[in-house]
Amino acid sequence: MDDIKKIARELFTSGKVNAVLGYVSINGQRTKPFLATKPEETDNFIINKYILNNLTVYLTKKEILKYGKIGIFAKGCDVKAIVALLQESQIKREEVYIVGINCNGVCADFDMEFSGETIALKCLNCEVRTPKLYDELIGTTEEMPKADDGKLKMIRKIEALSSAEKWDIFEEQFDKCIKCYACRQACPLCYCERCISDKSVPRWIESSASKRGNFSWNIIRAFHLAGRCIGCNECERACPMEIPLSLLNRKMAMVAQEEFKYVSGLDPNTPTLIGSYDLKDDEDFIE
Partner 1 sequence: MKIGVFICHCGENIGRTVDCVRVAKACSFFPNVVHSVEYKYMCSDPGQNMIKQAIKDLKLDGVVVGSCSPHMHEKTFRKAVSDAGVNPFLCEIANLREHVSWVHDDKEVATDKAIDLMRFAVEKVKRNAPLKTIQVPVTKRTLVIGGGIAGIQAALDVANAGYEVVLVEKEPSIGGHMSQLSETFPTLDCSQCILTPRMVEVYQHPKIKLMTYSEVEKVEGFIGNFKVTIRKKARFVDDTLCSGCGDCAIKCPIKKKALSEFDEKLAFRSAIYVPFPQAVPNIPVIDKEVCTYFKNGKCSMCVKVCGRNAIKFDQQDEFISEDIGAIIVATGYKLYTIDKKPEASEIKGYGEYGYGKYKDVVDGLQFERIASASGPTSGEFQRPSDGKTPKKIVFIQCVGSRDESKGFSYCSKICCMYTAKHAMLYKHKVHDGEAYVFYMDIRAGGKMYEEFVRRAIEEDGVKYIRGRVSRIYEEDGKYIVKGEDTLAGVPIQIDADMVVLATAMVAQTDAPKLAQTIGMPYDNYGFYSEVHPKLRPVESSTGGVFLAGACNSPRDIPDSVAMASAAAAKALVLFGSDMLEREPTIAFVNENLCAGCFYCKKVCAYNAIEVKQIKDKNGNVIKEVAFVNSGLCQGCGTCNATCPSKAIELIGYTDEQIYAEIAALM
| Least CB distance to partner 1 at residue 56 (A) | 15
Under the binding rule (CB under 8 A), the answer on residue 279 touching partner 1 is yes
Under the binding rule (CB under 8 A), the answer on residue 267 touching partner 1 is no
Per rule CB under 8 A, count of chain residues that contact partner 1 = 21
In angstroms, the first-to-last Cα distance of the chain is 58
SS3 for 239?
A: coil
Beta bridge partners of 36: 20
Select 6 or 199, whichever has its Cβ closest to partner 1. Answer: 199
Q: Which residues have CB under 8 Å from 131's CB, separation 6+? A: 74, 75, 76, 78, 79, 98, 100, 101, 102, 137
Under the binding rule (CB under 8 A), the answer on residue 194 touching partner 1 is yes
Under the binding rule (CB under 8 A), the answer on residue 286 touching partner 1 is no
- Binding residue (CB under 8 A) for partner 1 from 147, 191, 238, 266: 191
Give, to the nearest 10 degrees, the angle between helix 246-260 and helix 211-225.
Answer: 40
Under the binding rule (CB under 8 A), the answer on residue 91 touching partner 1 is no
Sheet bearing 19-26, strands edge to edge: 30-36, 19-26, 70-75, 96-101, 136-138
Q: Burial-class residue 170 by CB neighbours within 10 Å (0-12, 13-18, 19+).
A: buried
- Binding residue (CB under 8 A) for partner 1 from 261, 277, 282, 284: 277
- Binding residue (CB under 8 A) for partner 1 from 25, 90, 102, 130: 90
Select 48 or 90, whichever has its Cβ closest to partner 1. Answer: 90
Select 106 or 205, whichever has its Cβ closest to partner 1. Answer: 205
Select 62 or 146, whichever has its Cβ closest to partner 1. Answer: 62
Helix or strand holding residue 154 (H, E)? helix 150-159
Beta bridge partners of 25: 31
Alpha carbon dihedral 122, 124, 130, 133, in 10-degree steps, equals -30
Closest CA to 218 of 256, 246, 258, 186: 246
CB atoms within 10 A of CB 203: 13
Stretch binding partner 1 (CB under 8 A), from 44-52, 84-92, 120-128, 255-263: 84-92
Stretch binding partner 1 (CB under 8 A), from 16-24, 34-42, 105-113, 187-195: 187-195
Q: Among residue numbers 223 through 252, which ones bind partner 1 (CB under 8 A)?
A: 224
| Least CB distance to partner 1 at residue 255 (A) | 18
SS3 for 9?
A: helix
| Least CB distance to partner 1 at residue 263 (A) | 18
Select 31 or 197, whichever has its Cβ closest to partner 1. Answer: 197
Q: Are 227 and 274 in contact (CB under 8 A)?
A: yes
Chain positions contacting partner 1, by CB under 8 A = 88-90, 191-196, 199, 201-202, 204, 224, 271-272, 274-277, 279
